[in-house]
Structure 1
Amino acid sequence: MIVLLLVLSLLATAFSFPDGILTMEQPKNDGNHWAVLVAGSNTWGNYRHQADVCHAYQILKKHGIPDDRIIVFMYDDIAHNEENPTPGVIINQPNGPNVYEGVPKDYTGENVSPDVFLHVLQGNANQLVGVGSGKVVKSGPNDHIFVNFVDHGGPGILAFGDDTLEADKLMEAIKSMYKQNKYGKMVFYVEACESGSMFNRLLPKDINVYATTASNPDESSYACYYDDKLETFLGDVYSIKWMQDSDKEDLNTETLEKQFKITKAETNTSHVMEYGDLTIGGMTVAEFQGNQQSSVFLSNDIDVDPCKDAVPSEDVPLAILERRLEAAASQTQREQLEEQLRDLIKSRESVKTTIKKIASFATNDHVQTHRVMYSGVRHALNSWDCYKYVLKHLAATCPQLNIPKNDYALRHLYVLVNLCEERVPAETIKEAITKVCG
C-alpha cells in the first residue's frame, strides 16, 4: 500500500498542471468556451468597474479559458492613473491580490464602444481591421459564450463611454447570432443600474440565452468596499458576490442556478434577476466560466460584507467626497472638498430641475407632470422609437446632464419613459427639451 501511494504521488507530481490547476476536462459537445468582458466606464471614481472585469478575467483564466478566447474591453486608465498609489495594481477587495496582472487589453480608450462590442460579439472581424487587437468571438453551434458587462445603466440602455448600448440593438444582435448558429448556449452577467430592463420582456426563452442582472428594471445597482487609501470603491455588490462564489466553488458541480440563488440571497441591496431560457440554469458554471478546477483563490477570506458599506451607484461621487472630507488632514483640504461637495449637490439639483421643466413643458399639465415625476409610477418601456428619439436629443441638447456618464442623470430617464408611455408625442417632448436646454 505504501509503495502504491508513493507511485501515485510521483505520477501526480509528474503530470501536475501549472497555476494551481488540478483537473482538466474538455468542453462538452466538442465546443469551445468564449468570453467577452466589458468595463464601459473610465475615471478614478469608477475604479470598481475595471476592477470587477479584471477579477472576472482572472477567474476565467484560472479555470482554463485561454487568452485567445477571452476578449476584454476596458479604458485602461486606472492601473497607471496618477491617483493610484500602487502603479500597475488594481484590487477588487480590501487588501486583495492584483487582478490587473496579465489582463489582455483588447479594446481600450475610444474603442470601448457599443458598435465595437456588437461586432466583437457577432464575430465581424472584417469590421474591426486596425481596431484594437481585432479579436472577435469566432464561435460555432456547439460553443458556449459568457458575457460580463459592468458599467452604469438606465431604462433599456447600458452606458458605454460616451455612448449607450440600447436593449433592442443587443436583442437584434443576439437573435441574428442564433439564426446563424453562432453559439450553442450564451450567458450574460450584467452589473448596472436598471440592468433588468435590458432583458425584461425582451429576451426570448427559446434562443438558448440565459441572463442574470444586478438589479430589476427600476432600481440601482450598488458599489461597495470603499478603500481609505485609494479613496474610491473597489467593487460592486452583485459582481463581488458572484465572483467570490466562483473563486471558492467547484464549478464543475455548481450550477448556474445555484450561483444565481447564492448571489441573489447575499445581495440584499438590490433585486438580482434572471431572464431568458431558465433551463440553462441547470448547467454547470464550468460550462461558461471554464472547466479546469483551480486551487488558486482570488478572494481572500475576509469578514467584511460588501453590503455593509454599499451605496447606490448614482451616489458614489457624493459618498467619495464625504469620505474624503471626513479624512481631510488640513483646513485647506477640507475647504476644497467642501466646495467640490457643494458643486456636486448643486449639479444634482440642476438635473432634477432640468428634467422637471422638460416634463412640465411636454405635458403642459401640472397633475401629469407630478405623476411622471414623483408618483412612483414607472411604466414598462414599450415605446422604443419615442424613447430612443428623445433620449438622443436630450443627450445632444443638454450637455450639462453629461449623459451617459452621469449616473445620477441616468437614474432620471424614467421620466422620458413615462412621457412616451403616456403617449405624449415624441416631437412634443423634443420641443420641450430644446426649450429647456437649447
Structure 2
Amino acid sequence: MVRKLLALLPLIVAVYARSVNEEPKHWAVIVAGSNGWYNYRHQADACHAYQIVRKNGIPEERIITMMYDDIAYNEENPTPGKIINRPDGPDVYEGVKIDYRKEEVDPKNFLKVLSGDKEGMVGIGSGRVLESGPNDHVFVNFVDHGAPGLIAFGSKFLHASDLHHTILKMHKDKRYGKMVIYVEACESGSMFTNNLLPKDINVFATTAANPHESSYACYMDKVRKTFLGDVYSVRWMEDSDREDLSTETLTKQFEIVRRETNTSHVMEYGNLTMGDMDVAEFQGKNTQMHIFDKMPIPNPNVDAVPSEDVEMNILQLKVTQAKTESERGLEKQKLEHLKNTRRRTEETFKHIVALSVNNNKDIVYDIMMERRPLLSHDCYKPITEYLRTNCPGLNLVQNDYALRHLYTFVNLCERRTPQEAIMGAIDKTAEDTDLC
C-alpha cells in the first residue's frame, strides 16, 4: 500500500502544481437592481459595464447579468432598443445577454449566484451561477439605491450582513482566488466598513460613497428626460474605456476615479494590497489589439444631483419643457405630489422615532440630527424589514428619499432602543395616521 502511494506521489504533486500555476479564469457578475424610467441610469451603467468586460475578453458564458430590462423598449425611450450611458454616446444595450429579469432580480437569487448554488437557481432565469474555482478572478459590479447597511434590490433589500456572510462562504468554499467588487449606491461604504469586509480574504472593494452620503446621478438628457449615468460608475467605466488595462493597476484606477468624482467620497475596502494588480486581471485580459475610446467625454460632475433628487429634477424639467398648458399643469401636479410625499416621509420617520422614545423631545432631536456608525446589524436588519412590510404607504424600497432617513433607525438601534418599542411605534404609526 505504501509503495503504491509513493508511486502515485509524483503524479499528485504534478496535478497540484498544475492547479496552483493554472492561468486564472475571469468571471463577472453585473447587476442593476432598480426599475422604472427615472432609474434609467442604473441599467445604462450595467450595460456599459457588460460591454467593457466583453470587449476585454471575458466570454459570455462567464458573465452573469441581472437587470429588470424595462428601459430599452420602454414607451418613453425615443430610441427603442437602444440605451446610452453618456450624451450622444454609443448604444450599450446591443449584445447584452441578460440572465435574470424582472422579479428574478432579487437579493436571494444574487447571493445564490455568488455562492454557486446551482440547485437553488433551477427554474429561475437562465439558472446560471458562478462556477469559479480557487484560482479564478471574479469581478462584481452592483448598481442601485442604497442606505446604511443595505442596498435596494428590486422590491427588497440586500443587507450588508447577508453579503458579508456570503463572501465569507465563497472564501471558505474556494469560489475565487481574488475578487473585486465595485458598488454604485448611496451610503455604499456602509456595506463594507467596520470589518464587514475582512482584509485577509483576497477581496478588494470600492464604493461610490462613504457610509453617510449620497451617490450622484449625472448626464441629464433633455430628450429622454432622465439621467444617463452615475458619476462614480461613469468615471470608472470611461477610464476603463480609454486605458490599457494591462498596464493600469486597481489602485491607479481608484485614485483616478476618486480624484475625478468631486460629488461624493469614493472609498476602498478589504485587501488593499490587491491594488497593485492590473485592472485587466478582473475586467478582462484581451490578447487582441483594440482601439481605445479617445473621444472627448463631458464632465459628469457638472449637472450631477444627489440620487434622492433625481425624480424631482426630472419633473422640473418636464414642467419647463411642456408644450401645452394642460401638459404643464399635469407635470406640476406630479411635482407637487412628489413634494408632498417627501414631507410625509419626513413626518413618518419623526413620528416613529418619537413614539419609540416615549416622545422625549430632547432624544428625538438628537436621533434626528446625529449619524452613528452602524454596528448593531441584529437590531437594524429586522427593524428595516419590519418597516418595509408594515408601512407599505412609505414605499420604502422605491422611495429613495425615504432611504435617506434610515439613519434614524441606525441611531435608535445604536442607542439600544428595544426592538419591540420601535416595531410598536411602526404599528402605531400605521394604525393612527395615514402616513403608512
TM-score, with structure 2 as normaliser: 0.92
Per-residue displacement from partner, 1:182-225 (whole Å, max 9, x unpaired)?
11000000000000000001110000000000000000000000
- For residues 294 and 88 of structure 1, do their structure 2 counterparts lie closer, same or farther at Cα, with a shift above 3 Å needed? farther
Aligned partner (choices 402, 422, 427) of residue 429 of structure 1: 422
Q: Following the alignment from structure 1 to structure 2, what is the Cα–Cα distance between the partners of residues 133 and 106?
A: 5
1:216 aligned onto 2:216 = no
Q: Which has the higher contact order (CA 8 A, sep 6+)?
A: 1
What displacement does 1:327 show?
Answer: 1.5
Aligned partner (choices 251, 272, 283) of residue 278 of structure 1: 272
1:67 aligned onto 2:69 = no
Match of 2:382 in 1: 389
Match of 1:305 in 2: 299
Alignment of 1:106-121 (within 5 A): 106-121=99-114
Alignment of 1:308-319 (within 5 A): 308-319=302-313
- For residues 219 and 120 of structure 1, do their structure 2 counterparts lie closer, same or farther at Cα, with a shift above 3 Å needed? same
Match of 2:252 in 1: 258
Which runs of 5 or more residues in structure 1 are unaligned? 1-27
Q: Following the alignment from structure 1 to structure 2, what is the Cα–Cα distance between the partners of residues 56 and 425?
A: 43
Alignment of 1:82-101 (within 5 A): 82-101=75-94
Q: Following the alignment from structure 1 to structure 2, what is the Cα–Cα distance between the partners of residues 267 and 166?
A: 26
Match of 2:285 in 1: 291
Q: Following the alignment from structure 1 to structure 2, what is the Cα–Cα distance between the partners of residues 299 and 388?
A: 45
TM-score, with structure 1 as normaliser: 0.92
Q: Following the alignment from structure 1 to structure 2, what is the Cα–Cα distance between the partners of residues 247 and 105?
A: 22
**Structure 1 contact 227–234 (Cα < 8 Å) conserved:** yes
What displacement does 1:330 show?
Answer: 1.4
Q: Following the alignment from structure 2 to structure 1, what is the Cα–Cα distance between the partners of residues 245 and 430?
A: 52
What displacement does 1:105 show?
Answer: 0.9
Alignment of 1:10-29 (within 5 A): 29=22
Q: Following the alignment from structure 1 to structure 2, what is the Cα–Cα distance between the partners of residues 29 and 313?
A: 43
**Structure 2 contact 243–292 (Cα < 8 Å) conserved:** no
Aligned-residue Cα RMSD (Å) equals 1.2
- The amino acid of 1:338's aligned partner reads K
What displacement does 1:396 show?
Answer: 1.1
**Structure 1 contact 97–298 (Cα < 8 Å) conserved:** no
- The amino acid of 1:217's aligned partner reads P
Secondary structure in 2 aligned to 1:34? strand
Runs of 4+ with deviation above 3 angstroms: 296-300
- For residues 101 and 368 of structure 1, do their structure 2 counterparts lie closer, same or farther at Cα, with a shift above 3 Å needed? same
Q: Following the alignment from structure 1 to structure 2, what is the Cα–Cα distance between the partners of residues 296 and 398?
A: 52
Secondary structure in 1 aligned to 2:375? coil
Per-residue displacement from partner, 1:298-351 (whole Å, max 9, x unpaired)?
67423x210000000000000100111122221111111111100000000000
Which runs of 5 or more residues in structure 2 are unaligned? 1-20, 432-436
Secondary structure in 2 aligned to 1:225? strand
- The amino acid of 1:209's aligned partner reads V
Q: Following the alignment from structure 1 to structure 2, what is the Cα–Cα distance between the partners of residues 325 and 294?
A: 48
Match of 1:36 in 2: 29
Q: Following the alignment from structure 1 to structure 2, what is the Cα–Cα distance between the partners of residues 116 and 298?
A: 34
Q: Following the alignment from structure 1 to structure 2, what is the Cα–Cα distance between the partners of residues 300 and 55?
A: 16
Question: Identity over aligned residues, as a percent?
Answer: 58
**Structure 1 contact 93–299 (Cα < 8 Å) conserved:** no
Match of 1:57 in 2: 50
Alignment of 1:10-409 (within 5 A): 29-201=22-194, 202-292=196-286, 295-297=290-292, 300-302=295-297, 304-364=298-358, 365-373=360-368, 375=369, 377-409=370-402
- The amino acid of 2:208's aligned partner reads A
| Range with greater deviation from structure 2 (378-387 or 409-418) | 378-387
Per-residue displacement from partner, 1:3-62 (whole Å, max 9, x unpaired)?
xxxxxxxxxxxxxxxxxxxxxxxxx84110000000000010100000000000000000
What displacement does 1:295 show?
Answer: 2.5
**Structure 1 contact 242–263 (Cα < 8 Å) conserved:** yes
- The amino acid of 1:181's aligned partner reads K
- The amino acid of 1:256's aligned partner reads L
